[in-house]
Amino acid sequence: MSTKQTVQLPETPLPLPAKRPSPALTLTAALLGFGLICLDASVVNVALPAIGGSFDSGMSGLQWVVDAYTLPFAALMLSTGAFSDRAGASRAYALGTAVFTLASVACGLAPNLPVLLGARAVQGMAAAVVLPASLALVRQAFPDPAGRARAVAAWAAGGSAAVALGPVAGGALTTAWDWRGIFFVNLPVGLLILALLVRAPRSERRPAPLDVPGQVTAALALTSVAFAVIEGGTAGWAALAVGVAAAVAFLRVESRHAHPVVPLGLFRDRTVTAAVAAGAAVSVAFYSLVFVFSLFFQQVQGLSALHAGLMFLPMTGLIAVTNVVAGKLAGRHGPRLPMLAGQALAVVGLLVLLYVDAGTPPALVAVLLVPMALGCALTVPPLTAAMMDAVPAERAGLAAGVLNAARQVAGGLGIAVFGALVSDGFAAGMRWSLAISAALLLTTFLLSFRLSGRSVRPA
């Protein structure tokens, strides 16, 4: 005779496991922030004539409206990755987003040009924190390599889309509202990001060394050289001397510091050198010429801000698609082939633009801008992949920071130089700007022959 045993169930139900925050929520927050800082790098260009008219500003003031954002962004990007690790990516991202949003409101309320420039500089500093922290959040939310690769691709595509949207959004907001609208629109987006971050997981803090002397000398060198180019005169020569001295000090600091923000040994690798040089040349050609042609469409051809923004739509609308194609080509054929093709196309596009003048139909100018833009878009993903493939995995973040900082620096200094050229005569200055861009890309085209033709290994 068998007996049955009964199992006594607990009266209190067991607690359910805590629900893990959705990775998609974290990705959305990271993508919005990255898109926001990319948008502000391009949205302001079409609004420059309106800003100049509002404050009765000359060309140098307009150059500073762009460079006051770009230069702090570039300089601080060298060390904000380490700051993000020390503070924790989620905390750094929230801080950067909050400061960026408040600085945007200050830009929109600016009563004069100096206040606007100060607020733009704070925007740039905050953007330098947002960029590495946003990518760190994506890496944290997607531990699986395949899922992480898709998430990073979506993150990068969001930035490309924001850059493409910038000129059109700037023109539409300036026409329908006022130039101040390009800054006020950041407020709801910033608040949405902060609301999403409340539900995102907190990031762990990790020890990361900071190179304060290197960071300070780098920022001083960049700002001084930009001031020298934009302002000129006796003050410009003095600033140039300060910039050269700061650059020498930076090199000395970096060669001796145990954890430099820019390890000079990276550049012993010819792939790293070629990738950084090509990235800088592309930024000069693309971002600096968007600045020049924004002024050309409005000040020379008399278009409204909205129409000027629409003239950039053909070139910017194809960038995201071209980035994807370039990445696939680099994976299949190695970085050299798409880099060579992209730079060659960009050079041809720049030379064709030499024939543009005040009488060229704006729609034709818009079409002629496409080859240059597509060439740049075809070049960037392969050069990024080549650089990441050339460094050890543990230095990938540092190498990415160096590459992005070099690109931002080049774009900022390009605007300083090209703005000075067009201020002395727009037609001649624009042609010089195109010729300089073509010469830089031709030089990096030749450097790119030194790259390996092998396909890029999987990340």
- pLDDT-derived band at 447 (thresholds 50, 70, 90) equals confident
Number of domains forming the structure of the chain:
3
* Residue 203 pLDDT greater than 80, yes or no: no
Of 154-158, 376-380, 404-408, 436-440, where does the model show the most confidence? 436-440
Q: Per the domain annotation, does 16 fall within a domain?
A: no
Q: Per the domain annotation, does 17 fall within a domain?
A: no
- To 10 degrees, what angle do helices 426-447 and 270-283 make? 160
Are 224 and 290 found together in one domain? no
Q: What is the pLDDT of residues 334-357, one digit of tens each?
A: 788 888 999 999 999 999 999 999
Q: Per the domain annotation, does 428 fall within a domain?
A: yes
Of 231-245, 253-267, 287-301, where does the model show the most confidence? 287-301
Are 251 and 299 found together in one domain? no
Are 274 and 418 found together in one domain? yes
Are 107 and 161 found together in one domain? yes
Q: Per the domain annotation, does 1 fall within a domain?
A: no
pLDDT of residue 16: 41
Cα–Cα distance between 157 and 405 in angstroms, integer?
Answer: 19
Per-residue CA distances from 374 to 131, 174, 267, 341 (Å): 24, 27, 28, 10
* Residue 15 pLDDT greater than 70, yes or no: no
Q: Which domain holds residue 177?
A: 22-203
Are 319 and 438 found together in one domain? yes
Query: What CATH number is associated with residue 415?
Result: 1.20.1250.20
Closest alpha carbon to 89 in 189, 188, 197, 168: 197
Closest alpha carbon to 402 in 258, 260, 252: 260
Cα–Cα distance between 330 and 445 in angstroms, integer?
Answer: 16
* Three-point CA angle 319, 103, 294, nearest 5°: 40
Are 432 and 376 found together in one domain? yes
The alpha carbon torsion through 67, 70, 72, 73 (nearest 10 deg) reads 170
Are 427 and 445 found together in one domain? yes
Share of the chain above pLDDT 70, in %: 88
Q: Per the domain annotation, does 150 fall within a domain?
A: yes
Of 54-58, 238-242, 340-344, where does the model show the most confidence? 340-344
Are 108 and 138 found together in one domain? yes
User: If you compute the radius of gyration of the chain from its CA atoms, what whole number of angstroms results?
Assistant: 24
Per the CB < 8 A criterion, the answer to whether 341 and 451 are in contact is no
pLDDT of residue 7: 42
Are 179 and 221 found together in one domain? no
Are 104 and 138 found together in one domain? yes
Per the CB < 8 A criterion, the answer to whether 259 and 448 are in contact is no
